[in-house]
Chain A
């Protein structure tokens, strides 16, 4: 998105009190926040710090409480417990119009009786900003989201993508300290969604603003966010960078929720240096790397991402117990799913279990491809495995 946007601005920022908290202080601190509807605990003791300039994603299945948490940040719901500190000030009970936070709504919530220009100017007019200044700022925002020439249109005369831009411009116009985005791209088709993701990231980086996005689309969260908070049943299950979340999920639930995964349940058998041997029912004894936090004896699941599993006609040689030990599973190809960039093979193991391997189609000709019922060896290194408590 092209356009000029001066960073300094007094008119709106002053409304929010201290705009620049101390460097070590998070912009937003959520402390033990809980919200109950009737007997349903929608948000159950969530604590979270968000630094200024972050692009944070709240990810979770529908009903996990992510939207309720966002609505508490916007002020549409008051938390039953806990504090919400913005720049050190508790805003948990402040009304929506008193917060220096703006929100981009899921279905945009554009005012149908107002033109594009008046929609964008709505928030500015509430600040008592001078008319000329408002006009300048609106023009700025219109240029920022590339809506020039459409200022006089009403929302129902716009396409879905244009409406999305108006909503974004309207939410950004007041230069909020914090921008909340509730499933901002859910109503767009796939192509437009992908290009808009890029534009949103670029915009966030350029404005240096703090964004919190709520989404159920993990790819969207992974692509855009610098940090992701995964929510499940009202609780934050894990807060991590996209890479950490994918490669080092903290629980079985997260491993299954984020991306595809092969899981083998078993018990730890013996320890050998920083290698651990786990006896599994479907895959036999698997050599895995000792997790960062050492585990004792007990029941575990070994998790391996499909793209970490290599397939070959004959497996590599390996010595059990050795540093270079490699896990080998033998079976036949049971299902092939060609996805363009990759092909997913489902291999039925001799033990009866299934393992899914995702292979990059690095060559145009299918000389390396496997066919149905072909005998293959699926193999992976100990470092490719994640050990999760069962």
Chain B
């Protein structure tokens, strides 16, 4: 009874806030984009038609509605360029996320096993790169990776290579940039779950005869799955739509969907196709989210 009174009005407003946010900054813009994706490109201002003009009267609006079509989506499906861009985006995201998990997990695990006061230091070290602008850090990588950059100078000085290696504008450079940029997003959720886990569970497993690798696979890893899920999603979703890193570090012969979208929008001025591409991307990204949500709910229900 009293609990209900404590959470009276202010609490209810707080509960509404996220929905207001969602409507204002997601659903309304999404509605615009959806509408544009169903329109046709036009040499006009704005560069598409039909345009809904609420002052033009009912008939005009009905005509505008009739002019909407799914043509842009058909175009996306029929043109290899787009299909390839989606496939490439997903491939890059899956590869990069796997790399991030393989690199991030040992780091997070190590952090979680440090003495308490060192954990705080390690945490700061993970977050420190955020103090410099993301874009500047990527440009710094260009500097390091270029023909006469730091990396090649070191390799030459150590006589590991006899000629400068081409790093820039390769997939390796792109993966390096992605892993470098997203690593904190993988480490932090993993660290959070691993730090919460009681080390005594690992002791119990080894006491029951499990060698270290079994302790990891049978106890530590399964118990850290919520963190793995969160880290994978936090990295995978933005990487699929990543634009800056592939644009600056990868070659230009194969584009990710983010780059394609940018081209359509700014170079081709084809807002409707760009919007359609964005809608498809959103749907593609919703799938893993829904899957994660489903898994989490099932875990909760099992309890």
Q: Which residues of A are at the interface with B, using a C-beta cutoff of 8 A?
A: 15, 74-76, 95-97, 101-103, 105, 107, 109-113, 122-123, 126-127, 154, 156-157, 170, 174
Contact = CB atoms under 8 A, between A and B. Distances in A.
A75 B211 CA distance: 13
Contacts of A110: 204
A126 B223 contact: no
Contacts of B205: 111, 122
A95 B206 contact: yes
Given A111-B219, A154-B302, A157-B303, A122 B208 contact: yes
Interface in B187-236: 198, 200-201, 203-211, 214, 218-219, 222-223
Nearest to A96: B206
A127 B200 contact: no
Nearest to B200: A109
A170 B208 CA distance: 8
A76 B210 contact: no
Contacts of B201: 109, 111-112
Contacts of A112: 201, 223
Given A113-B222, A122-B208, A156 B303 contact: yes
A3 B204 CA distance: 25
B204 A111 contact: yes
Contacts of A103: 204, 207
Number of contact residues on B: which range applies?
A: 10 to 19
Contacts of B222: 113
A131 to B, nearest CB: 17
Task: Give the interface SS of chain B, mostly helix, strand, loop or mixed.
Answer: helix
16 contacts: A75-B206, A96-B206, A97-B208, A97-B211, A101-B207, A102-B208, A105-B203, A105-B204, A109-B198, A109-B203, A110-B204, A113-B223, A122-B208, A126-B214, A157-B303, A170-B208
Interface of B: 198, 200-201, 203-211, 214, 218-219, 222-223, 302-303
A15 B208 CA distance: 12
Given A109-B198, A111-B201, A97 B207 contact: yes
Contacts, number: 59
Contacts of A15: 209
> Which of A110, A112, A127 has its CB near the most chain B CB atoms (within 10 A)?
A112
> Which of B198, B209, B302, B303 has its CB near the most chain A CB atoms (within 10 A)?
B209
B223 A123 contact: no
Given A105-B200, A109-B200, A97 B219 contact: no
B303 A154 contact: yes
Contacts of A156: 303
A384 B128 CA distance: 71
A112 to B, nearest CB: 7
Contacts of B208: 97, 102, 122-123, 126, 170, 174
Contacts of A170: 208
Contact of A97 (B209, B218, B223, B303): B209
A-B pairs, 8 with minimum CB distance: A123-B208, A126-B209, A109-B204, A96-B206, A109-B200, A97-B206, A97-B209, A103-B207
A97 B209 CA distance: 4
A76 B215 CA distance: 14
A170 B206 CA distance: 13
A19 to B, nearest CB: 16
A84 to B, nearest CB: 15
A347 B210 CA distance: 59
Contacts of A102: 207-208
Contacts of A107: 200
B218 to A, nearest CB: 8
A60 to B, nearest CB: 21
A38 to B, nearest CB: 12
A107 B199 CA distance: 12
Contacts of A95: 206, 211
> Which of A74, A96, A112, A122 has its CB near the most chain B CB atoms (within 10 A)?
A96
A75 B203 CA distance: 9
Contact of B209 (A111, A113, A127, A154): A127
Given A76-B203, A112-B223, A126 B210 contact: yes
Given A102-B208, A105-B200, 8 more contacts: A76-B207, A96-B206, A97-B209, A107-B200, A109-B201, A109-B204, A111-B205, A122-B208
Contacts of A154: 302-303
A75 B210 CA distance: 13
A110 B203 CA distance: 11
A75 B218 CA distance: 20
A110 B222 CA distance: 14
Nearest to A12: B209
A74 B202 CA distance: 13
Nearest to A113: B222
A96 B206 CA distance: 6
Contacts of A76: 203, 207
Contacts of A127: 209
Nearest to A182: B200
Contacts of A97: 206-211
A157 B201 CA distance: 18
B15 to A, nearest CB: 28
> Which of B198, B208, B219, B302 has its CB near the most chain A CB atoms (within 10 A)?
B208
A91 to B, nearest CB: 13
B199 to A, nearest CB: 10
Contacts of A74: 203, 207
Nearest to A127: B209
B303 A96 contact: no
Contacts of B223: 112-113
